């Protein structure tokens, strides 16, 4: 049994593929770039802990870790299996013997298998490997995907310039039923979207996906342990399938799609050579017509059956049903909350997280419609996506009951810092926080203004804040622009007040300086408790 310690994410995926999909140990190991021994170890631990898929889903990473690794079996863990792939590669090198490899294995694992059992493990692997060399495709088992080396093109209306586009091909192993479409690129969004449309065309999902090791599928190519793109993994999880990348420079691993690409080039691309298309939609409409013709053509060697007939007979009954919701492409980004316990995804809109996670590194997963924030694998916040620049989306449950008791920063502290620079600075900071629904949402702008003192002196910063107040500008960007352009050195009109606080018009949201004093805050808290 393998001794490597797996992450909780790897263990969850092993159990999903093994118990939820019914894949073999070796298929799961290949999909997750692990050894079969590691897969067996994870399954045995989960079974010994009395877990099932529902129980695993209900546990946090910490709880799952405790159940699987907190207590060791009384008899100790089973001996680690030697890695047959490593043995096979090393054994082919000049001068290397199985006895030498066994000695190296024992040095790493003193309690491991003796020489006879060690050799038996390797021989059993060789026998199974020989039997699996001839690929026998079962109905609904695999969907192969690839891109055509020869590409179609679209033409510009205005210039007549030809732009080459990609031709995505997917084919089911048992029936050779084919899907094809043109896309602008092989990038992740186009690659994932093509898979979604292929599933819809097949009206079901195959047990596994077999892609080439292109960057959109595999971020780190390797013969034994390729690293899958996280978005591709999410796609597989959503549709309940597994990913088994073909080995680099091993076209036989995906011979089915290699043939499908050649067929598509002959019966689709070749028939488009004298036709002109100005948009991708026009091109794909014509490709779909030729694709229907291709799938309805009789195949040699199958008794005159068509791909569609074989699909309906062999593949379609074995395909898994499509999920109720279509997969939505989402991006990921590591974020860290600011002092106002809000995170920025890069588009300058701010989303709240529980204030207790203010100093934590969080993972944001966001699409065009939703934003999810995760901490150690657990979702801690969920918001509707917004594209309003400079605005905040705040869940009141994420806010502390008393900011002054839980946060290092407070309106009083910020205004006091501003007063140390000058009255106009303090007045501008107060105005910025007063215009926000919650004062904490103005902390970013206030701190940005105050930190301009490092680049400019206090006198210039005070003059810039005075000009911003006079112009009714209430943001860090205005102050930064005034300083950068040297406008703070220009005199204000004579009507401008020296202190400038009088320029703040009365408003129901303006609390006034008294609001931020300790006595007023204490009175407010007492009144709230009395109610």
| Confidence tier at 286 by pLDDT (50, 70, 90) | very high
Identify the residue with better confidence: 403 or 327.
327
pTM, 2 dp? 0.51
Q: Determine which of 36-50, 127-141, 368-382 has the lowest per-residue pLDDT on average.
A: 127-141
CA distances, 370 to each of 152, 363, 373 (Å): 36, 14, 10
Among candidate residues 372, 398, 424, the one where a domain is terminated: 398
Q: Which domain holds residue 310?
A: 142-318
| Confidence tier at 116 by pLDDT (50, 70, 90) | confident
| Confidence tier at 445 by pLDDT (50, 70, 90) | confident
- Specify the DSSP element, H or E, that contains 202: helix 188-202
Q: Determine which of 134-148, 157-171, 414-428, 441-455 has the lowest per-residue pLDDT on average.
A: 134-148
Q: Same domain, yes or no, for 410 and 379?
A: no
Q: Same domain, yes or no, for 150 and 123?
A: no
- Residue 213 inside a domain? The answer is yes
CATH number at residue 214: 3.30.420.10
Alpha-carbon dihedral angle through residues 303, 304, 305, 306, given to the nearest 10 degrees: 150
Write a three-state SS string for 350-416: EEECCHHHCCCCEEEEECCCEEEEEECCEEEEEEECCCCCCCEECCHHHCCCCHHHHCCCCHHHHHH
Q: Same domain, yes or no, for 350 and 421?
A: no
Q: Determine which of 75-84, 138-147, 351-360, 373-382 has the lowest per-residue pLDDT on average.
A: 75-84
Q: Which residues of 347-370 are buried (b: 16+ CB within 10 A; e: fewer)?
A: eebbbbbbbebbeeebbbbbeeee
pLDDT tens, residue by residue, 399-416: 776 444 434 566 778 888
Q: Same domain, yes or no, for 304 and 173?
A: yes
Kind of pairing between the strands at 392-393 and 350-352 = parallel
Q: Same domain, yes or no, for 180 and 305?
A: yes
Number of domains forming the structure of the chain: 4
The residue among 446, 448, 439, 454 whose CA lies nearest residue 403 is 439
Among candidate residues 354, 371, 398, the one where a domain is terminated: 398
Q: Same domain, yes or no, for 18 and 74?
A: yes
Q: Same domain, yes or no, for 164 and 313?
A: yes
| Confidence tier at 518 by pLDDT (50, 70, 90) | very low
- Residue 1 inside a domain? The answer is no
Q: Same domain, yes or no, for 444 and 394?
A: no
Kind of pairing between the strands at 342-344 and 350-352 = antiparallel
CA separation for the pair 411, 429 (Å, rounded): 9
Greatest Cα-to-Cα distance within the chain, rounded to the nearest angstrom = 99
- Residue 419 inside a domain? The answer is yes
Q: Same domain, yes or no, for 125 and 148?
A: no
Q: Same domain, yes or no, for 359 and 393?
A: yes
Residue 287 has pLDDT above 90, yes or no: yes
Average pLDDT, the chain: 80
| Confidence tier at 126 by pLDDT (50, 70, 90) | low
- Residue 497: half-sphere exposure toward Cβ, Cα within 13 Å: 12
Q: What is the pLDDT of residue 50?
A: 85
Q: What is the mean pLDDT of residues 10-32?
A: 88
Q: Same domain, yes or no, for 461 and 427?
A: yes
- Residue 27 inside a domain? The answer is yes
Q: Same domain, yes or no, for 365 and 231?
A: no
Residue 514 has pLDDT above 70, yes or no: no
Among candidate residues 90, 105, 131, the one where a domain is terminated: 131
């Amino acid at each position: 049994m393998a001794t490597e310690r797996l992450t909780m994410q790897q263990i969850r995926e092993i159990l999903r593929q093994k118990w939820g999909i019914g894949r073999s140990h070796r298929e799961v190991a290949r999909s997750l770039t692990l050894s079969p021994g590691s897969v067996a170890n994870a399954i045995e631990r989960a079974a010994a802990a009395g877990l099932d898929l529902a129980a695993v889903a209900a546990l946090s990473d910490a709880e799952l870790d405790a159940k699987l690794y907190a207590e060791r079996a009384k008899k100790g863990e089973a001996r680690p299996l030697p890695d047959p792939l490593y043995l096979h590669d090393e054994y082919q090198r000049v001068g290397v013997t199985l006895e030498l490899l066994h000695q190296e294995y024992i040095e790493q694992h003193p309690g491991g298998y003796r020489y006879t059992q060690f050799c038996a493990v390797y021989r059993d692997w060789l026998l199974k490997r020989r039997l699996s060399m001839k690929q026998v495709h079962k109905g609904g088992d695999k969907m192969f995907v690839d891109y055509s080396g020869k590409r179609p093109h679209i033409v510009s209306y205005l210039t007549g310039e030809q732009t080459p586009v990609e031709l995505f091909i997917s084919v089911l192993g048992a029936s050779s039923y084919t899907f094809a479409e043109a896309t602008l690129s092989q990038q992740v969004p186009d690659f994932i979207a093509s898979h979604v449309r292929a599933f819809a065309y097949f009206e079901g999902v195959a047990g596994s996906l077999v892609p080439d090791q292109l960057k959109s599928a595999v971020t780190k190519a390797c013969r034994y342990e390729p690293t899958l793109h996280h978005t591709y993994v999410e796609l597989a999880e959503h549709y309940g399938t597994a990913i088994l990348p073909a080995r680099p420079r091993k076209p036989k691993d995906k011979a089915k799609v290699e043939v499908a690409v050649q067929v598509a080039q002959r019966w689709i691309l070749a028939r488009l050579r004298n036709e002109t298309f100005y948009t991708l939609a026009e091109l794909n409409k014509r490709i779909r017509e030729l694709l229907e013709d291709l799938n309805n053509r009789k195949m040699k060697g199958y008794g005159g059956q068509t791909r569609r007939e074989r699909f309906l007979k062999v593949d379609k009954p074995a395909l898994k049903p499509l999920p109720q919701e279509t997969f939505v492409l989402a991006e990921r980004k590591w974020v860290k909350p600011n002092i106002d316990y809000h995170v920025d995804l890069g588009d300058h809109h701010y989303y709240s997280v529980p204030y207790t996670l203010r100093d934590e590194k969080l993972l944001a997963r966001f699409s065009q419609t939703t934003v999810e924030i995760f901490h150690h694998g657990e979702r801690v916040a969920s918001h509707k996506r917004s594209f309003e620049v400079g605005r905040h989306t705040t869940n009141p449950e994420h806010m502390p009951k008393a900011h002054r008791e839980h946060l290092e920063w407070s309106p009083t502290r910020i205004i006091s810092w501003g007063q140390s620079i000058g009255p106009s600075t303090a007045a501008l900071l107060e105005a910025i926080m007063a215009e926000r629904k919650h004062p904490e949402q103005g902390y970013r702008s206030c701190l940005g203004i105050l930190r301009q003192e490092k680049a400019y002196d206090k006198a210039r910063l005070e003059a810039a804040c005075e000009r911003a107040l006079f112009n009714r500008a209430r943001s860090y960007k205005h102050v930064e622009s005034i300083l950068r352009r040297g406008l703070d050195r220009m005199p204000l009109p004579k009507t401008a007040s020296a202190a400038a606080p009088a320029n703040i018009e009365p408003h129901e949201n303006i609390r006034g300086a008294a609001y931020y004093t300790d006595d007023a805050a204490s009175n407010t808290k007492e009144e709230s408790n009395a109610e």
